[in-house]
């Protein structure tokens, strides 16, 4: 990811800002971010109303009940993500890797987050600027993530930044 960002930076003149074409070239960086969101989704889950009766694992869930759907278990389904606990950004090199509703950090279907593309733009712009300007070190690399409605680092994820 660092190499991709530094190559983009080197191709620009001093003072030039990122452009849309630059964002489109950040394929590996986005794969890394996608994999981070698969392992620690920005939202843990959501309540949904059951539209029709269904049976799962011998239990019938009637129409009208509220169920809690978890993003993290969906994103770690062995059928679609071999070695689901392994960090592997190469999973997304093939655009057909994730069938619909198997990778859902932004939700899916008609309720998909309308800010998905804005989030992509904001995240990649932030990553580009941090990588280009700083060396950084996570001070507690084994820090636990507290599973709440939003994933929260136990100690606030302190980092040390040093200018290049």
Taking only the tens place, the pLDDT of each residue in 19-30 is 999 999 999 999
Tell whether 98 is in a known binding site: no
| Res 26: pLDDT | 95
pLDDT at 4 over 80: yes
The answer to whether the CB of 46 falls within 8 A of the CB of 140 is no
Q: Residue 85: is its pLDDT beyond 90?
A: yes
Query: How far is it, in rounded angstroms, from Cα 87 to Cα 18?
Result: 28
Out of 1-5, 50-54, 93-97, 117-121, the most confident range is 50-54
Exposure on the CB side of residue 95, measured as CA atoms within 13 A = 1
Average pLDDT for 47-58: 92
45 pLDDT band (50/70/90 cuts)? confident
pLDDT at 89: 93
Q: pLDDT tens across 86-129, in order? A: 999 998 887 666 788 888 888 888 878 899 889 999 999 999 99
Rounded Cα distance between 106 and 37, Å, is: 9
Average pLDDT over residues 134-143: 92
Instruction: Measure Cα distances from 3 to 90, 128, 132, 161 in Å.
Output: 16, 11, 10, 18
pLDDT at position 146 is 83
């Amino acid at each position: 990811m660092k190499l991709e960002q530094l190559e983009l930076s080197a191709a620009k003149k001093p003072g030039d800002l990122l452009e849309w074409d630059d964002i489109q070239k950040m394929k590996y960086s986005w794969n890394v971010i996608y994999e981070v969101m698969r392992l620690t989704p920005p939202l843990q889950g959501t309540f949904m109303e059951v539209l029709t009766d269904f049976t799962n694992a011998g239990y019938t869930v009637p129409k009208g009940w509220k169920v809690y759907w978890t993003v993290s278990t969906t994103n770690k389904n062995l059928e679609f993500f071999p070695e689901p606990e392994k960090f592997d950004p190469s999973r997304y090199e093939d655009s057909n890797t994730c069938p619909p509703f198997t990778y859902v950090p932004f939700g899916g279907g008609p309720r998909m987050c309308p800010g998905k593309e804005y989030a992509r733009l904001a995240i990649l712009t932030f990553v580009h600027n941090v990588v280009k300007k700083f060396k950084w070190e996570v001070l507690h690399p084994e820090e636990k993530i507290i599973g709440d409605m939003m994933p929260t680092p136990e100690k606030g994820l302190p980092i040390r930044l040093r200018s290049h």
